Amino acid sequence: MEITLQALTSLFLGLKKIYMDALSETATPEIGRLVYQDRAITTTDEYPASGLLGDLEEHLDELHMINMWEMLQRAKPILFDGAIPVKRLHILNDQIGVYENAIRELGEATKTHPYRNVARCLMNGFTTVWLPDGQNIFSNDHAWPGGQGWDNLEHLPLTAGNFDIACQHLEMRARPDGQPLGMVPRLLLVGPLNRANAETIIEMQLIGGGNTNRQYKRCELLVEPRINTLNWFVIDDERPPIVNDLREGPATDSQISNDSDHVFTRNEYRFKAWVNYVLAILQPWRIQASDWEEGDTTTTAA
């Protein structure tokens, strides 16, 4: 293929189509059930959370107004990008096919990128501040506006008894007005180190020599390989607790220019893909997390 502006433009349009097809065809990973994705929810770093607790109230003298901005969480967008160099010699020799799989992989990686960061987002919840009350996202010392306390943190290893405790704490969680939130344990999220414990607790129908396991199928189990610790999470994901705010992209750029002659003599050209997004926990009350690690000492239920 002769290297001209028209040829380069056509070439990179073809690569972009491969990328965009992969982007649309790649399935959302299972952990995506925890993520609500939208585009440009806000143009600032502030996300209102109070509206997510909104409810109807009996109309007495005036309309009840929900203060969406009473609880705010801040999160900054992060730009992620990657590029594949396309060699001049391969263009001249019509060997562009060697790049198709790499471009397709780049599209798949872009689609799954936010979901591959969900585990890190959850693990960061043990140290990231929840601005409405100044505690960590997972804490024993949370307070709603108005002062009522609540907690979403356990310091327990994953056992049947401790799973029961975490479920109970989630189910008993109250709204700022003291009324039940109505949380239901729908998902037990663990890493590979806790797989065996989790499967024994909720996927074995008979235990203890033939006794019925009352925890059997109490919720679904999801093993996330990127959780490489003994941390575990009981979650009501009827509404996803994590937001993925796509600020820009996914998009591609190509290193060609119609106002620069040296573009035709380069030894390689770049196909770049990028995406800019926020990933943040906006409904921590839907998660009961355990920060127990090997070597911790605590009183636990069997």
Tell me whether residue 66 is in a domain. Answer: no
Query: Residue 263's pLDDT band (boundaries 50, 70, 90)?
Result: low
Tell me whether residue 105 is in a domain. Answer: yes
CB-based contacts of 168: which residues, under 8 Å, 6+ apart?
none
86 or 295, which is more confident: 86
- Give the rounded percent of residues in the chain with a pLDDT score beyond 90: 65
Average pLDDT over residues 287-299: 79
3-state SS of the chain is CCCCHHHHHHHHHHHHHHHHHHHHHCCCCHHHHHEEEEECCCCCCEEECHHHHCCCCCCCCCCCCCCHHHCEEECCCEEEEEEEEEEHHHHHCCCHHHHHHHHHHHHHHHHHHHHHCHHHHHHHCCCCEECCCCEECCCCCEECCCCCEECCEECCCCCHHHHHHHHHHHHCCECCCCCECCCCCCEEEECHHHHHHHHHHHCCCEECCCEECCCCCCCEEEECCCCCCCCEEEECCCCCCEEEEEEEEEEEEECCCCCCHHHHHCCEEEEEEEEEEEEEECCHHHEEEECCCCCCCCCCCC
- Give the rounded percent of residues in the chain with a pLDDT score beyond 70: 87
Average pLDDT over residues 37-49: 83
51 or 216, which is more confident: 216
How many domains are contained in the chain? Answer: 1
Tell me whether residue 296 is in a domain. Answer: no
Across 279-298, b (16+ Cβ under 10 Å) vs e yields: bbbbbbbbbbbbbbeeeeee
Query: Residue 234's pLDDT band (boundaries 50, 70, 90)?
Result: very high
Tell me whether residue 295 is in a domain. Answer: no
Residue 185: pLDDT above 90? yes
- pLDDT at residue 41, as a whole number: 80
Residue 298: pLDDT above 70? no
Residue 251: pLDDT above 50? yes
Give the CA distances from residue 288 to residues 59, 136, 164, 189, in Å, rounded to whole numbers and listed in that order.
34, 13, 11, 10
2 or 225, which is more confident: 225
- CATH assignment at residue 218: 3.90.1690
Residue 58: pLDDT above 80? no
Residues 191-233: tens digit of each pLDDT: 999 999 999 999 999 988 889 999 999 999 999 999 999 999 9
Range of the domain at 13: 5-54+72-290
- pLDDT at residue 301, as a whole number: 63
Residue 63: pLDDT above 50? no
- pLDDT at residue 270, as a whole number: 87
- pLDDT at residue 91, as a whole number: 85
Tell me whether residue 108 is in a domain. Answer: yes
- pLDDT at residue 64, as a whole number: 41
Tell me whether residue 207 is in a domain. Answer: yes
- pLDDT at residue 65, as a whole number: 42
Q: Does the global pTM surpass 0.85?
A: yes
Q: What is the mean pLDDT of the chain?
A: 88
62 or 51, which is more confident: 51
- pLDDT at residue 227, as a whole number: 97
Tell me whether residue 61 is in a domain. Answer: no
Q: How many CA atoms lie within 13 A of 253 on its CB side?
A: 9
- pLDDT at residue 146, as a whole number: 84
Q: Which of 45-49, 115-119, 144-148 has the highest mean pLDDT?
A: 115-119
Residue 56: pLDDT above 50? no
Tell me whether residue 62 is in a domain. Answer: no
- pLDDT at residue 288, as a whole number: 98
